[in-house]
Amino acid sequence: MFESGNTVKTYRLDKSPEDILQLSANAVKIFDHPLKFLTYQGAVNKGQGNVCIVEAGTYQKLQEKHNFTKLNLNGQILKGKFLLAHIENDKWIFRKK
């Protein structure tokens, strides 16, 4: 999740933050969320899933185009430069640079 204005840009990742330091993660862009979801933990989708915070910190966009965003992350686990690149439809790849 990345705070952007009054919303949170949200991606579902297939790897933990620790794994992303070594491997690329597949990311699926899901709908933008209200800001309250930056701190929300608990049931989602009428109890069909659960959300827990596994990483927190700040970020800076270094470069943004329609098909990729270069970021500098300063999280508890993810630190440094990362790339979020569009593959097709709602599929993205997220990796350390």
Residue ranges of alpha helices (H) inside 1-97 are 17-20
Alpha-carbon distance of 48 to 45, in angstroms, equals 5
pTM for the model stands at 0.88
Alpha-carbon distance of 31 to 47, in angstroms, equals 18
How many domains is the chain built from? 1
Task: Encode pLDDT of 2-57 as tens digits.
Answer: 999 999 999 999 999 999 999 999 999 999 999 998 999 999 888 888 888 999 99
Q: Domain range holding 79? A: 2-96
Q: What are the CA-CA distances from residue 40 to residues 3, 20, 61, 91 (Å)? A: 14, 22, 24, 24
